[in-house]
Amino acid sequence: MAAADRARWLREELERYNHAYYVCDQSIVPDAEYDALFLELRELETENPELCTPDSPTLRVGGAPLAEFQTVHHRVPMLSIRTETDTTVSGAEAFDARIRRELGLTAEDAPVEYVAELKFDGLAVSLRYEHGLLVQAATRGDGERGEDVTRNVRTIRQIPLRLQGDAPPVLEVRGEAYMSRPDFEKFNQRQRALGKPALVNPRNGAAGSIRQLDPALCARRPLSFFAYGLGEVAGWSLPATHGEVLDALAACGFPVCQHRIIAHGAQELAAFHQAMGGMRDSLPFDIDGVVYKVNTIALQQQLGFVTREPRWAVAHKYPAEEMLTTVEAIEVQVGRTGAITPVARLVPVFVGGVTVTNATLHNFDELERKDVRPGDTVIVRRAGDVIPEVVSVVPERRPMRDGNAPLHPRVAMPASCPECGSAIEKPEGEAIARCTGGLYCPAQRKQALLHFASRRAMDIEGLGDRIVDQLVEGGHVRTPADLYHLGLDQVAGLDRMAAKSAQNLLDAIARSRDATLPRFIFALGIRNVGEATAKDLARQCGTLDILMTASEEQLQQIPDVGPVVAASIVHFFAQPHNREVIAALRAAGVTWPEGVVAGNTVSALAGKTFVLTGTLPSLGRDEARDLIESRGGKVAGSVSGKTHYVVAGAEAGSKLEKARALGIPVIDEAQLMELLKQ
């Protein structure tokens, strides 16, 4: 085959694959095959530059940067659309009434036929095809003159470089270049991973890409396209209706959005507005409204234009999903699972159909990245039922002091939980910081109780959502230990609680006192400690006290316990409040059989601090001290938060009381001997 024929064949094949893949969502050849044909074409063109045509898929990758864009004069102006400001259904009625009046129709005349489409939120472009070839792409500019963005637009795979079917001398296709939501997310994830700035929203992503002087940069940003109209046309048989124009454009190879209908009269327009409003957030691209167009082209021509806006079309918007407002303060919220979330308190703003006063900043990494400070003007977004978020700051509007320094400093992550004062933990590489006071923290109370009572934990039948809500809200229960002190009258007094069920619940709570160590460990709700880990911990440590006093290094010797899990365990038991709740559970009679350590992975004494109190049955003070120290432990004279064990004998006094109050494990001589053996 001659090189020219081969090149033509390659171009056609590659474009066929492109169209199938990017427009029809079908992969008809393996990637490797596509790549091989692409490379072959590029080599052919390098060797024979005269074979490189304007429709060559090799031009889709960009090329050298431009110094500036050339100006393009639109032979048919690119119009804008009048916006119907009324976002309710009456917006559709107002448009229809106006059209009927202008066409001189009366109530007896049949409904006017419209096409209803989506209003895409991207950048308008005009594509000029001559004899079937894409020769020029332009932005709208002022409607008369735009910018020549041909090389950038060629990188959009959904846009055909050559029309399918008949090739009229001139066909200008108008439509919207946009960035899909999944592409936007992917692009931003990659940017963040590279430490580069992220795009604010898909529309800016599309507009910024198309207006890049370096086409290679544009090629790296994934853009899409929907055709919705025509510009200059010569030698093409223009269909009689706009609906048919759209069908013809699809037949030429353009993506045309399938969410379009032929509507008769205002009712059907309003129904479309409402239906698409409901779908708005599940679409894979942003829309800011719908567009109604008179379907019959002859009627469009009859209606004509006012200034730059056709009388035959209108944009019927939805409430804006992004608005500007001011940050009054940045506060910290603790979620049910202990997640610490920075939240911006805002000057109230109407966005996405409701008045918003708070917006999430997700986590402290995000807060740092977005650098939001009190007094800042921010873009707030509320899409559908998703919680409102701060998208970005408008830096020019930041309040500054003299000397050009920001008036307010950055807001840092607090060291302790604003609800309960427990330490905040943020594992390396994780975005979410959490309060470690799981058993005690008021914000986590309900969740902690439900988990404690769940079937695989303490298995307290009948202690569900509704009852936990009432117990907590009525002030009857603050920690799991309080469950064991509930009285019949308290439980029977709950809403919709029969006397019989109240007794059943109390029985179930009482039964749960007989626990097992794995269940008890799991029930504590330690972050990253699921049922399987709880079993491993119980088996390897043998007793709760050993687990409570194990160091991170010791814990990591347990199979399947890595640094993250080990840190969570140590953090949890380091919180005095958590230890108090455990002591209270034991005091309330919760018990479990404690085993002997299987394997010898955890050395129980190394680095541990003991306090001796009272008279031990057989060991003298000095003897006990020597034994402890010979195994790497320490003996201290007084009980503090740093004490790991108190060894108590007969007539133990205030040290024992203090240990109980601090939730420090208290052992007797026999248990000490057990530890020494390990």
Toward ligand IVH, which CB reaches closer, 121 or 545?
Answer: 121
Pairing of strands 83-84, 261-264: unpaired
Applying CB under 6 A, the span of 19-27, 77-85, 402-410, 622-630 interacting with ligand IVH comes to: 77-85
Q: With binding defined as CB under 6 A, does residue 115 bind ligand IVH?
A: no
Taking CB under 6 A as the binding criterion, the range among 12-20, 113-121, 438-446, 549-557 that sits at the site for ligand IVH is: 113-121
238 or 661, CB closer to ligand IVH? 238
Radius of gyration in angstroms for the set of CA atoms belonging to the chain, rounded to a whole number:
35
Phi, psi at 347, each rounded to 5°? -65, 125
Q: Which of these, 567, 553, 552, lies nearest to 433 by C-alpha position?
A: 567
- Pick between residue 124 and residue 351 the one whose CB is nearest to ligand IVH: 124
Among 75-83, 394-402, 506-514, 572-580, the segment contacting ligand IVH (CB under 6 A): 75-83
**80 near ligand IVH, judged by CB under 6 A:** yes
Q: Does residue 120 touch ligand IVH according to CB under 6 A? A: yes
Give yes or no for residue 124 binding ligand IVH (CB under 6 A): yes
Span interacting with ligand IVH, options 117-125, 161-169, 267-275, 339-347, rule CB under 6 A: 117-125
Question: What strand order describes the sheet that includes 666-667?
Answer: 634-636, 609-613, 645-648, 666-667
Q: Which is nearer to ligand IVH, 298 or 431 (CB)?
A: 298
**With contact defined as beta carbons under 8 Å apart, do 193 and 49 qualify?**
no
Nearer to ligand IVH, 309 or 365 (CB): 309
Contact 160, 19 (CB under 8 A): yes
Q: How far is the CB of 577 from ligand IVH (least distance, A)?
A: 57
Does 149 participate in binding ligand IVH (rule CB under 6 A)?
no
Compute φ and ψ for 535, nearest 5 degrees. -65, -45
117 sits near ligand IVH (criterion: CB under 6 A)? yes
What torsion, rounded to 10 degrees, do the Cα atoms 34, 39, 45, 47 define? -150
- Does residue 254 bind ligand IVH (CB under 6 A)? no
Q: Is 610 in the site for ligand IVH (CB under 6 A)?
A: no
| Minimum gap (Å) between residue 581 Cβ and ligand IVH | 59
- Interface stretch with ligand IVH, choices 37-45, 79-87, 341-349, 527-535 (CB under 6 A): 79-87
E strand or H helix at 574: helix 563-574
Structure tokens at 103: 């066409």
Closest distance to ligand IVH from the beta carbon of 346 (Å): 29
Q: Which residue in 215, 229, 342, 518 binds ligand IVH (CB under 6 A)?
A: 229
Residue closer to ligand IVH (CB basis): 60 or 74? 74
C-alpha closest to that of 610 among 564, 676, 547: 676
The smaller minimum CB distance to ligand IVH, of residues 83 and 591, is found at 83
CA proximity to 592, closest of 494, 522, 677, 492: 522
Contact 463, 508 (CB under 8 A): yes
What are the CA-CA distances from residue 415 to residues 19, 434, 518 (Å)? 55, 11, 31
Q: Does 286 bind ligand IVH (CB under 6 A)?
A: no
Instruction: Output 210 or 597, the one with its CB closest to ligand IVH.
Output: 210
Rounded Cα distance between 517 and 529, Å, is 13
> Minimum CB separation from ligand IVH for residue 290, in Å?
8
The residue at minimum Cβ distance from ligand IVH is: 124
Residues 538, 593: Cα–Cα separation, whole Å: 11
- The number of beta carbons lying within 10 Å of the beta carbon of residue 280 is 19
Residue 348 CA to residue 590 CA, distance in Å, equals: 50
Q: 120 or 573: whose CB is closer to ligand IVH?
A: 120
Smallest gap from residue 100 Cβ to ligand IVH (A): 20
Dist. CA 322–CA 75, nearest whole Å: 35
Least distance (Å) between residue 80 CB and ligand IVH = 3
146 is an interface residue for ligand IVH by CB under 6 A: no
What torsion, rounded to 10 degrees, do the Cα atoms 484, 485, 491, 493 define? -170
Does residue 243 touch ligand IVH according to CB under 6 A? no
Q: State the nearest-atom distance from the C-beta of 117 to ligand IVH, in Å.
A: 4
Active site residues: 119
Pairing of strands 83-84, 313-317: parallel
**Interaction between residue 178 and ligand IVH (CB under 6 A):** no
Residue nearer to ligand IVH on the CB measure, 122 or 518: 122
Q: Which amino acid, one-letter code, is at 275? A: A
Rounded distance between C-alpha atoms, residue 526 and residue 521, angstroms = 8
Q: Is 523 in the site for ligand IVH (CB under 6 A)?
A: no
Q: Which of 7, 23, 44, 81 binds ligand IVH (CB under 6 A)?
A: 81
Around Cβ 383, how many Cβ atoms within 10 Å?
16
DSSP result, 142-185: TSSEEEB-HHHHTT-TTS-SB-SS---SEEEEEEEEE--HHHHH
Under rule CB under 6 A, residue 291 binds ligand IVH: yes
| 132 near ligand IVH, rule: CB under 6 A | no
- Please count the residues of the chain: 678
Place of tokens 């950038």: 152
Q: Is 313 in the site for ligand IVH (CB under 6 A)?
A: yes
For the CB of residue 406, give the shortest distance to ligand IVH in the complex, in Å: 36
Residue 104, number of CB atoms within 10 A of its CB: 7
**With binding defined as CB under 6 A, does residue 79 bind ligand IVH?**
yes
Shortest distance in whole angstroms from residue 285 CB to ligand IVH: 11
Give yes or no for a contact between 343 and 145, defined as CB atoms under 8 angstroms apart: no
In angstroms, give the least distance from the CB of 294 to ligand IVH.
Answer: 11
DSSP letter, residue 629: H
- Residues near ligand IVH (CB under 6 A) are 79-81, 117, 119-120, 124, 176, 228-229, 291, 310, 313
